[in-house]
Structure 1
Amino acid sequence: MKTLIFTTFAMTAFAANSVLGRLALKGELIDAGSFSAIRLFSGAMMLLLLVILNKTMNKNSGSIRWREGSWITSLYLFVYALAFSYAYLSLDTGSGALVLFAAVQVTMVIMSLIKGKMLSRYEWLGLIIAFSGLSYLLLPSATAPPLLPALLMLVSGIAWGLYTLAGKGAADPLLQSCNNFLRTIPFIAVLLLFTLEQSTITTNGVLLAIASGAITSGLGYAIWYVALKGLTVTQAAVVQLSVPIIAAFGGVFFVNEAISTALVISALLVLGGILVSSIVKR
């Protein structure tokens, strides 16, 4: 039940993060570099605050282990956020989401196979069903994407898959997430050196970036690390296919988009695939 609750919250946060990003970048309220920088920095500050509060409330918890996490994991996080922002300047929603989540799933499954963890029939079946549901929703609206933005989204998906795998064995998910975000600050500084002169910033754009970083990224990723303890690698890969579905329904409620038959069928296939994949845990 704990894994279910945390996984549901994390997937909802990721979907909300996607909506916030689309609102900011597609609406040209902020440039991609500034959005990425503010998103990561605000996420780091939120997680740092939570770590300090947790330490204050648990006085006997010992010293804070600031070495949790790693620079390579932080690099995965930075590459994911930056490539995602720049790719969505040119890609339409259907093409971008399809490339991103296909890259995430393939990366996690390949890494699992490389480590010698063979997939069961249920994991293969669940993955195929869920991915077919996502493809059913996105392919009708997906046109051949521009090569460079598509490659950027592919890189973003690979980086997110590697970041997820790196956090699966986290002893302290909150602290590890905090340290990973804090380690992106030097990367942010370098990014701003190259993009500051071309930056476009509005108040609404900054607020959307802060919400994306502090709430749907910082909190969402920390909770996702906790949820990963109760999931297999394949389940973690499959369950993330629910994010575009949740985001699509978020568009229905917050952007007044219509509920289509394709959306309903796709949602049933994705959720069914997740259910089939979870049978292996029993």
Structure 2
Amino acid sequence: MASQRSVWLTVLAILAFAANSVLCRLALREGAIDAASFTAVRLVSGALALALILAWRDRGVRAIAAQGNHGSALVLFVYAAGFSLAYVELATGTGALLLFGAVQATMIGIGLYRGERLAVAQWLGLVMALSGLVALMLPGATAPPLAAAALMLVAGVAWGVYSLRGKGAADATAVTAGNFLRSLMWLLPLAIFAWPEEWPQGVGIAYGMLSGALASGAGYAVWYLALRGLASSTAATVQLSVPVLAALAGVVGLEERFTIRLLLASLAILGGIALVIRRGNER
């Protein structure tokens, strides 16, 4: 049974994860900032926020720099850049669903490659989830733009790989801080290939800072604290609420449409993943 503290920490972390999609879409939709600049502001702000958190824990800059590795930093950058570039065109809920589906599919797929075995019900859940992703991508009036959807899927794969690479880290917050710090080196090639035509507006920079410092940096730190009091099945299942919350925020706050296609795809993807997770933890 999770403690009351773990429950509240979990709620805060899930809200932060959903806020990432909302803040990015809000900033890009209003044209207050371009995708490359949003990525840069998010990563820099996230690195600073995590560094401050670790400094508060009496961990120096050298300790932060010693954590993480360049491979994880690269996939973290690919996730952040793909995420921002995709949200130039994707609706909030659609982007969050594609991201989450790709993350979970990647982690399950890598597990299978490493020799993990699925029960019949888990295979059914995996087929449901993949069918939902395919259905969401099929051509039609309510289909998301193909290029943007593909970018979000790439971002999801990158985040799935990043999650697996950091699994079992002794100090996940410190490792994440080190990876954020190392990811900044990739901002230079991003600037070369995607230099903004106009300087970002103040509100766009503010959205990026909120996404990086609070929704990403502080959000990840809170999540790692929450994980200490959660069963693995609970932690995995509760993340299913992120795309739903993002979609609701998009409908209410950004006046986006919640289509039948998105509803059916959400039921298939989230229901299928829930089946894989639940059955996996019962074995």
Q: Does TM, normalized by the shorter one, top 0.5?
A: yes
Per-residue CA distance 1:116-147 (angstroms, 9 max, x = gap):
1223455445656677888999989741623x
**Deviation readout 1:220-279 (Å, 9 max, x if unpaired):** 2334445667526x974x654432101122235544679899999988884796388336
- Rounded to whole Å, the distance in 2 between the matches of 1:75 and 1:17 is 20
TM-score, scaled to structure 1: 0.78
Give the AA of the match of 1:37.
A
Q: Which moved more, 1:117-126 or 1:165-174?
A: 117-126
Task: Give the structure 1 partner of residue 50 of structure 2.
Answer: 47
Within 2, Cα distance between the matches of 1:90 and 1:141? Answer: 15
1:20 maps to a residue whose letter is L
- For 1:18, the equivalent position in structure 2 comes to 21
**Partner of 1:20: helix, strand, or coil?**
helix
* 1:24-79 Cα shifts (integer Å, max 9, x gaps): 011111011100000000000000000000117xxxx9x83642221111111111
**1:281 maps to 2:266:** no
More displaced 10-residue stretch of structure 1: 69-78 or 113-122: 113-122
1:84 and 2:83 aligned:
yes
Count of aligned pairs between the two proteins: 274
Matched, 1:177 2:176: yes
The answer to whether the 8 Å contact 2:20/2:216 transfers is yes
For 1:276 and 1:117, the matched residues in 2 are separated by: 12
* Alpha-carbon distance in structure 1 between the residues aligned to 2:136 and 2:27: 24
Structure 1 contact 108–162 (Cα < 8 Å) conserved:
yes
Distance 2:70 2:94 in 1: 31
For structure 2, list consecutive stretches of 5 or more residues without a partner in the other structure: none
* Contact 1:69/1:177 (8 A) holds in 2: yes
SS at match of 2:66: coil
Aligned match of 1:104: 103
TM norm structure 2: 0.78
User: 1:168, 1:225 within 8 Å by CA — same for their partners in 2?
Assistant: no
Contact 2:123 2:276 in 1 (8 A): no
Q: Name the CA distance, whole Å, in 2 between partners of 1:51 and 1:144.
A: 40
Alignment gaps of 5+ in structure 1: none
Q: Is the 8 A contact 1:235 1:277 kept in 2?
A: no
**Cα distance per residue 1:81-118 (max 9 Å; x no partner):** 11111122233446544443332222111111112122
Identity among equivalent positions (%) equals 43
